[in-house]
Structure 1
């Protein structure tokens, strides 16, 4: 018993030291729905470029192809591989033995986002339907902490996040799909975006708006309201993959990398955020690889759909670059990692388990 108490005391002391010394006061979280680790780390896939899934093959090769994987991936994700990898950490290159995975068995969106934000895979979260998530999420937890109330915001292209984040219970402002921003004092640009999204072509259907609109809302909201925690959820990489359009999938991925760069450069130029903000980028699930047609799909029956990745950069993150150690991380660990980057310890009031933080992220 004495030994157990001593270990617990030592852990508490260590956590308190971290909480006192950490520099991160704000965090930006970005997800790219269904973005494969293979493309993140290897760049464009020659098998897919030369397949029926790619139109304008010569144009795609000009934009995205180079002989070496290191060149190709930088062409696809220039910000990730020129800034984040140089000053932060990137996890999930299975070619090097470094594995990042979802722990849930379903391997599609709602279960994936539940795992990221609640810290555990819940077998009840097994649908993309509009069921209300009973589990406390880390954004809700942060919003209840001193100094963070009313300073947490989420914008998503997919309409399902009000249920995933349980806005009726959490009270979080979550603007998903074609929902208007409701702030009466919103600036002219935000009001224009409310109007614009009603008129843009709904090529993704009535449930998912353009990632460009989601990005513009997030960017302008950060400029005006200075949230402490902002979540931006993109969707078009998943949509283009399901359509079997590899060219559009690559183009959306590079565009979203550019969106992330713009927001990161914007916050680093703002004294409110500069050197006090951590950026975490990830996805909700992986996709298939073999047979080739399986790249379009994911789910419990798709081999490889559990394989994911994440990246992090900020003042409390060791500069390790691409993680090359043969270790495994899981998305159920991200909620506690997010909390501890802010000097907090995520405790779920509902009593559900919470995955341990990924300790290698921290200095």
Structure 2
């Protein structure tokens, strides 16, 4: 194995350790996050406590035809058809606590910035990452480590619905382009689709000040991916968490179903594009969970300890098709960076990062 260094302003930064002989097929990584989507809905669909509560939906009975069935397996298929028809059959999903399979956060803040820091760096940093303020992340993310490597430089992109992502990725230091919040597509060679999306984003304002609606994030990402063919992509969708904070269980479910459709769109594009087909792993997760009853489901954080409970899904050429795991296992969000680097045939250089997820590796 050979260690590579980057000379930067008079000092050296270790980038990675490259395995002498790459044994994986993964050449590209799509890391997808969705804010605040509970594992309860992922594995059992619409919650019987909430689905017809008049305090949480616009009209009583409005959700039953679309999302309700007495069989939890059928309910989850109604809510997330791609996830349960394709991802679960060709990939793997971790975190079904109903079956004893667990995924948790290591940070104790249990809200968004600390969660994304953990996902992107491989460790919690409660001492410094303890608010959602727009402060540049002092930690180097897996995206930045890749950006420093010649093989990935200029081929790392990030997109997010939340306007804090440029700070989480620390675009000032990393140089990674981040389209987030109400950013628009920039440049002299905008596609017609990007021009339309820009115009619509000016005209359509969602209900939140710092979070745009997910369709803008998704379609900005898709257009950029088609044009630039990046090797590492972060796409961070946001609607489920904000609808939950607003106590709108109907909109929460609708946004989850739309998120599932975006996963389908992404995976079908990946598998229909020669540079990505059978060379790309897609990892999907969430930054935190949330409360489990009517009094707490709108929130998360230290006061709601069960918001540490999350999930991880993945599909790609190196990861065995294990479906929804039912073994008694414990994983953490912090395992994602080292797993991604090992899938790429690299060793993760971040100090203190968690171990890799063995089930995702060949």
**Superposition TM-score tier, normalisation by shorter sequence:** over 0.9
Please give the secondary structure, in 2, of the residue aligned with 1:29.
Answer: strand
Which residue of structure 2 lines up, in the alignment, with residue 317 of structure 1? 319
Which residue of structure 2 lines up, in the alignment, with residue 11 of structure 1? none
Q: Report which of the two has the higher share of strand.
A: 2
Q: Please state how far the C-alpha of 1:142 moved relative to its aligned partner.
A: 1.0
Matched, 1:179 2:183: yes
Matches of residues 257-276 of structure 1 in structure 2 within 5 Å? 257-276=260-279
- Which of 207, 212, 233 is 1:209 aligned to? 212
Which residue of structure 2 lines up, in the alignment, with residue 359 of structure 1? 358
Q: Please state how far the C-alpha of 1:203 moved relative to its aligned partner.
A: 2.0
Separation of aligned partners in 2, 1:344 and 1:119: 15
Q: Please state how far the C-alpha of 1:204 moved relative to its aligned partner.
A: 2.1
Which residue of structure 1 lines up, in the alignment, with residue 148 of structure 2? 144
- Which of 306, 329, 332 is 1:330 aligned to? 332
Pair 1:192–1:90, CA change in 2 (3 A): same
- Unmatched 5+ stretches in structure 1: 1-14
Pair 1:152–1:33, CA change in 2 (3 A): same
Please give the secondary structure, in 1, of the residue aligned with 2:61.
Answer: helix
Please give the secondary structure, in 1, of the residue aligned with 2:347.
Answer: coil
- Which of 83, 86, 89 is 1:80 aligned to? 83
Matched, 1:103 2:106: yes
Pair 1:263–1:324, CA change in 2 (3 A): same
The alignment yields a C-alpha RMSD, in angstroms, of 1.5
Separation of aligned partners in 2, 1:144 and 1:117: 15
Alignment check: 8 A CA contact 2:107 2:118 kept: yes
CA offset digits 1:197-253 (Å, max 9, x no partner):
111123222x11110000000111111111111111111000100000001000000
Matched, 1:63 2:66: yes
Matches of residues 160-309 of structure 1 in structure 2 within 5 Å? 160-205=164-209, 207-290=210-293, 292-309=294-311
Matches of residues 18-57 of structure 1 in structure 2 within 5 Å? 20-51=22-53, 52-57=55-60
Pair 1:140–1:47, CA change in 2 (3 A): same
Paired residue total: 344
Separation of aligned partners in 2, 1:105 and 1:71: 34
Separation of aligned partners in 1, 2:203 and 2:62: 30
What's the TM-score once normalised by structure 1's chain length? 0.92
Separation of aligned partners in 2, 1:18 and 1:231: 27
What's the TM-score once normalised by structure 2's chain length? 0.92
CA offset digits 1:272-308 (Å, max 9, x no partner):
1111111111100000103x22111000010310000
Q: Please state how far the C-alpha of 1:146 moved relative to its aligned partner.
A: 2.9
Separation of aligned partners in 1, 2:268 and 2:59: 33
Separation of aligned partners in 1, 2:216 and 2:348: 31
Which residue of structure 2 lines up, in the alignment, with residue 343 of structure 1? 345
CA offset digits 1:307-335 (Å, max 9, x no partner):
00010000010111111111100011111
Please give the secondary structure, in 1, of the residue aligned with 2:283.
Answer: strand
Separation of aligned partners in 2, 1:161 and 1:341: 25
Separation of aligned partners in 2, 1:339 and 1:21: 12
Which residue of structure 2 lines up, in the alignment, with residue 8 of structure 1? none
Q: Please state how far the C-alpha of 1:20 moved relative to its aligned partner.
A: 1.4
- Unmatched 5+ stretches in structure 2: 1-16
Which residue of structure 1 lines up, in the alignment, with residue 9 of structure 2? none
